[in-house]
């Protein structure tokens, strides 16, 4: 038995989908513990591409119980479409479980997300995905949110929805609000068979000695507490969020695997010390196909940031790292990693705890020799070009945790395992 957390070590889009998918194979239970359909996981199986936004990637394995736990915010219409799409491709969703206590995203939240973002000035825009994530979590924290369980009960749902004055707030006609309530009751009817007491379920699985994978969406630097606030999402993707988002306790977690790209990307606004705003950055985007799974937006690209990665190791209590997309760096004469920052003319080895300092950072790089070879088909670490091995070892040494897995391509086969 092992309870393992998988987290994004950067700004999301680290290639977690593939790693989750691979770890799911060995798991009995996969739990998605925060975020909503702002996330997008791309998985390639036998050349077929799956883009999942809310259903845990473990769903592609019949033996895996897939859980959407209390920390997640659910757009039920999106979830139902995803279930239907999976079934249409011949995948069973009979093992899907949804927490009664997960919060519900309404179309009003999406509208609010759009209107709040459009009211922000250019330099304060967050670049949200417009999926209603922030407004839904706001309702949760303000103790006026709607939980999934209420979709099973007409009176309760009506009372909770009407508790908000959507008509005044967004100028929505009462009939439209009523229509949404009816539609959500229908969603409740469809999703009812999947809704369970997830705390009870997960603790039973722990007692049964099952292997559980807690899957984080987004990434450490998008965490509402530890990220580049306010340019963050509204939940806790970091490992602590796996506990509050699922009901498993910290002492039950044995491993925390961080996933980082061999370089770094970010979508949306906010500071990004190692960003490459030149042709080189553009080439990296094209080669790495760095466009958002959810919104299609081009991702900003940059060199690997070791200072950031070290911070991510700390705040997650990471035990291992997986480095993805190493193949994208092939063909470069040199590769770089930021090993310190210069702030106001002073050298600092530490990730700044405030956005003002972070915006002033000038990265100090260490340069490593590149490699020419195509490495996509290599599955043994020691068959990688020596310079690629050196780069991975340098990352490992710098951040202080082992790199247990290196990904060199989209498909499951293109993976190098290390350290047993």
Binding-site ranges for ligand IMP (CB under 6 A): 11-13, 38-40, 126-129, 131, 133-134, 217-218, 222, 231, 233-234, 267-268
Residue 13 CB, shortest distance to ligand IMP, in Å, is: 5
Q: Which is nearer to ligand IMP, 271 or 317 (CB)?
A: 271
Q: What is the Cα–Cα distance from 372 to 370, expressed in whole angstroms?
A: 7
- Tokens representing 159 are 């009372």
Sort strands 255-261 and 3-8 into parallel, antiparallel or unpaired.
Answer: parallel
Selecting among 13, 139, 223, 305, the annotated active-site residue is 13
- Tokens representing 211 are 């292997």
Q: Which is nearer to ligand IMP, 95 or 234 (CB)?
A: 234
Question: Tokens 């990471």 appear where?
Answer: 318
What single DSSP character describes residue 183?
H
Residues 275 and 300 sit within 8 Å (Cβ to Cβ) = yes
**CB closest to ligand IMP, residue no:** 268
Q: Which is nearer to ligand IMP, 128 or 330 (CB)?
A: 128
Is 53 a known active-site residue? no
Which of these, 238, 415, 403, 228, lies nearest to 312 by C-alpha position? 238
Q: Which is nearer to ligand IMP, 13 or 327 (CB)?
A: 13
Sort strands 362-369 and 103-104 into parallel, antiparallel or unpaired.
Answer: unpaired
- Tokens representing 17 are 């989908």
Residues 223 and 12 sit within 8 Å (Cβ to Cβ) = no
- Tokens representing 324 are 């993805």
Residue 140 CB, shortest distance to ligand IMP, in Å, is: 13
Q: Which is nearer to ligand IMP, 195 or 312 (CB)?
A: 312
| Helices and strands in the chain: count of H runs, count of E runs | 13, 20
Residue 342 CB, shortest distance to ligand IMP, in Å, is: 26
Q: Which is nearer to ligand IMP, 115 or 174 (CB)?
A: 115
Q: What is the Cα–Cα distance from 126 to 119, expressed in whole angstroms?
A: 11
Residue 51 CB, shortest distance to ligand IMP, in Å, is: 12
What backbone torsions phi and psi does residue 232 show, to the nearest 5 degrees? -140, 175
Is 41 a known active-site residue? yes
Selecting among 41, 53, 103, 320, the annotated active-site residue is 41
Q: Which is nearer to ligand IMP, 234 or 410 (CB)?
A: 234
Residues 77 and 187 sit within 8 Å (Cβ to Cβ) = yes
What backbone torsions phi and psi does residue 173 show, to the nearest 5 degrees? -65, 145
Q: Which is nearer to ligand IMP, 42 or 95 (CB)?
A: 42
Residues 299 and 261 sit within 8 Å (Cβ to Cβ) = no
Q: What is the Cα–Cα distance from 403 to 16, expressed in whole angstroms?
A: 15
Residue 416 CB, shortest distance to ligand IMP, in Å, is: 25
Residue 234 CB, shortest distance to ligand IMP, in Å, is: 6
Q: For the chain, state the CA radius of gyration.
A: 21
The full DSSP string for 102-165 is: SEE--HHHHHHHHHHHHHS-GGG-----SSSHHHHHHHHHTT---BGGGGG-HHHHHHHHHTS-
Residues 340 and 349 sit within 8 Å (Cβ to Cβ) = yes
Residue 405 CB, shortest distance to ligand IMP, in Å, is: 20
Residues 414 and 376 sit within 8 Å (Cβ to Cβ) = yes
**Paired strand residues for 195:** 98
Q: What is the Cα–Cα distance from 89 to 78, expressed in whole angstroms?
A: 17
Residue 299 CB, shortest distance to ligand IMP, in Å, is: 8
Q: Which residues are catalytic?
A: 13, 41
């Amino acid at each position: 038995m092992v309870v393992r957390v998988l987290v994004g070590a950067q700004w999301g889009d680290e290639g977690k989908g593939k790693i989750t998918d691979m770890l799911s194979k060995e798991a009995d239970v996969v739990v998605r513990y925060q975020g909503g359909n702002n996330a997008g996981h791309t998985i390639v199986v036998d050349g077929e591409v799956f883009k999942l936004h809310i259903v845990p990637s473990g769903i592609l394995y019949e033996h895996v119980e897939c859980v959407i736990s209390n920390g997640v915010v659910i757009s039920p219409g999106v979830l139902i479409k995803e279930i239907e799409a999976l079934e249409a491709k011949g995948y069973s969703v009979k093992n899907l479980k949804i927490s009664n206590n997960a919060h519900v995203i309404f179309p009003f939240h999406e509208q609010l997300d759009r209107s709040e973002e459009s009211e922000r000035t250019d330099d304060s825009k967050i670049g949200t995905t417009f999926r209603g994530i922030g407004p839904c979590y706001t309702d949760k924290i303000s103790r006026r949110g709607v939980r999934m369980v209420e979709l099973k009960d007409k009176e309760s749902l009506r009372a909770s929805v009407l508790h908000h004055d959507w008509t005044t707030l967004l100028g929505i006609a009462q009939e439209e609000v009523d229509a949404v309530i009816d539609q959500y009751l229908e969603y409740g009817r469809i999703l009812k068979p999947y809704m369970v007491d997830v705390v009870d379920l997960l603790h039973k699985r722990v007692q049964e000695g099952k292997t559980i994978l807690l899957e984080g969406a987004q990434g450490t630097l998008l965490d509402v507490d530890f990220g580049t606030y306010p340019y963050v999402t509204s939940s806790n993707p970091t490992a602590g969020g796996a506990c509050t988002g699922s009901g498993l306790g910290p002492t039950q977690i044995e491993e925390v695997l961080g996933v980082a790209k061999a370089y770094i990307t970010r979508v949306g606004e906010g500071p990004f010390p190692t960003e490459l705003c030149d042709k080189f950055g553009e080439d990296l985007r094209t080669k790495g196909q760095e466009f958002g799974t959810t919104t299609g937006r081009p991702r900003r690209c940059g060199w690997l940031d070791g200072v950031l990665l070290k911070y991510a190791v700390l705040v997650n209590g990471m035990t291992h790292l997986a480095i993805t997309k190493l193949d994208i760096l092939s063909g470069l004469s040199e590769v770089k990693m930021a090993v310190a920052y210069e702030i106001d003319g002073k050298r600092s080895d530490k990730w700044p705890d405030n956005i003002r300092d972070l915006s002033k950072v000038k990265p100090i790089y260490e340069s490593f020799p590149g490699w020419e070879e195509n490495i996509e088909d290599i599955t043994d670490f020691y068959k990688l070009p020596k310079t690629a091995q050196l780069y991975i070892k340098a990352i490992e040494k710098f951040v202080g945790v082992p790199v247990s897995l290196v990904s060199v391509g989209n498909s499951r086969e293109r993976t190098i395992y290390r350290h047993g």
